[in-house]
Amino acid sequence: MSFLDIFNTDPFRVVPLTDAIQSLKYVPGRIGELGLFQETGIPTTTAAIEERGGILVFVPPSPRGGPGMTVDKLKRTLRVVSVPHFQIDDTMMAEEVQGVRAWGNETAVEMLMEKVAERGQIFTQSFEATHELARLGAIKGLITYADGTTLDLRTLFNVSAYPTQFLNLLPGTPTASGTLRRTVQGIWRLLADELAGLPFTGIRAFCGNQFFDDLIQAPDIRTTYLNWQAAAELRGQYGSQNQKVYGSYEFGGIAWENYRGFGPDGSPLVPTDLCYIIPEGVPGLFRTWYAPADYIETVNTNGQRMYVKQYPMPNDKGINMEFQTNALHACTRPRLLLTGSRLAS
């Protein structure tokens, strides 16, 4: 009877290991949960983005020696952005599988795959937090990674930001009836004009704590809500059953959400006095590109959300494992990204 060399069997190669991780139910953040970002796997480690008439368009790679992409006369600039690489290293020691390895017993492989999946579940949550940080950065227009490096989408594509939308929500501030509604209507017009006829389905605002608390106390909102059954929300708890947000409600055709999430330094991802406003339903507005892993097996293949690979330790006491994701999140029209403030102008 031959001995089962468990770590060199087919299930422990890159593709089966990656498939095992891909099948895990991961825990996304609120932005990932909303499905705002269109995800695409690409066979390169860079994303080429072309600007045509103020719209940023992803340029697919062309085969060597084959025809390239046809570009019209309106092409202005082409920028190439590297897809960030995120990796976590881990080990699985031989003693962890003591009592699992068996002579010619293939069930040992299944049990070890469960251990790999357990590791992957922990690391997947870390990667999803990393993706959420980048997604929110794309909504702000400035992506800040955990190491402090940044990607400023407006600077990269040479567009300016609209002035901050001041909603004048400070408690005790005398606010004429209808002022807030007019400000919200102005936000609708601004985004509609910027889209120049391109369809969108609505507007969403991710709010900081104080912004959200003051907004729900605004006279325009209280007057609107007190006249119908939703007034109970103003008198009681306005929290949400969705654990990804502290609370949410709709006013003026905008879905206002009290965003729940913290950055690597422990500070709120949405500052307490601000909100970030975006249109929803705009085709291709938010994009995610996944690049392939840096392995021989994955060269020139379309990128996946996550990869895992194992290789033996030199002393044969266990195996080293790598978990990685290669993702670039971006907004293709950063002029549409608005910032609101609870302060007065």
Taking only the tens place, the pLDDT of each residue in 48-87 is 776 665 555 555 454 444 444 444 444 456 677 888 898 8
Assess whether 11 and 146 both reside in one domain.
yes
pLDDT at position 28 is 45
pLDDT at position 48 is 76
Asked if residue 68 is part of any domain, the answer here is: yes
Assess whether 238 and 300 both reside in one domain.
no
Query: What mean pLDDT, rounded, does the chain reach?
Result: 78
pLDDT at position 103 is 43
| pTM for the predicted model, two decimal places | 0.79
Closest-CA residue to 271 (of 263, 283, 279): 263
163 band by pLDDT with thresholds 50, 70 and 90: very high
Tell which wins on pLDDT, 55 or 268: 268
Least confident segment among 102-111, 197-206, 218-227, 239-248? 102-111
Assess whether 10 and 110 both reside in one domain.
yes
Q: How far is the C-alpha of 47 from the C-alpha of 94, rounded, in Å?
A: 40
Assess whether 76 and 99 both reside in one domain.
yes
Assess whether 138 and 204 both reside in one domain.
no
Judged by phi (left if over 0) then psi (alpha if -120 to 50, else beta), residue 273 lies in: alpha
Asked if residue 1 is part of any domain, the answer here is: no
Asked if residue 155 is part of any domain, the answer here is: no
Tell which wins on pLDDT, 4 or 88: 88
Assess whether 308 and 267 both reside in one domain.
no
- Domain of 217, in residue numbers: 161-282+334-341
* Phi and psi torsions of 63, nearest 5°: -70, 145
Strands (E), the chain: 37-41, 46-52, 55-59, 75-82, 85-93, 142-144, 150-152, 165-166, 202-207, 245-251, 254-259, 274-280, 286-290, 307-312, 318-331, 338-341
Assess whether 120 and 231 both reside in one domain.
no
pLDDT at position 25 is 46
Which stretch, 32-41, 308-317, 333-342, has highest mean pLDDT? Answer: 333-342
Asked if residue 46 is part of any domain, the answer here is: yes
Domain count, the chain: 2
Asked if residue 30 is part of any domain, the answer here is: yes
Q: What secondary structure does DSSP assign to 195-260, as a single string? A: HTT----EEEEEE-HHHHHHHHT-HHHHHHHTTSTTHHHHHS--B-SSTTEEEEEEETTEEEEEE-
Assess whether 54 and 12 both reside in one domain.
yes
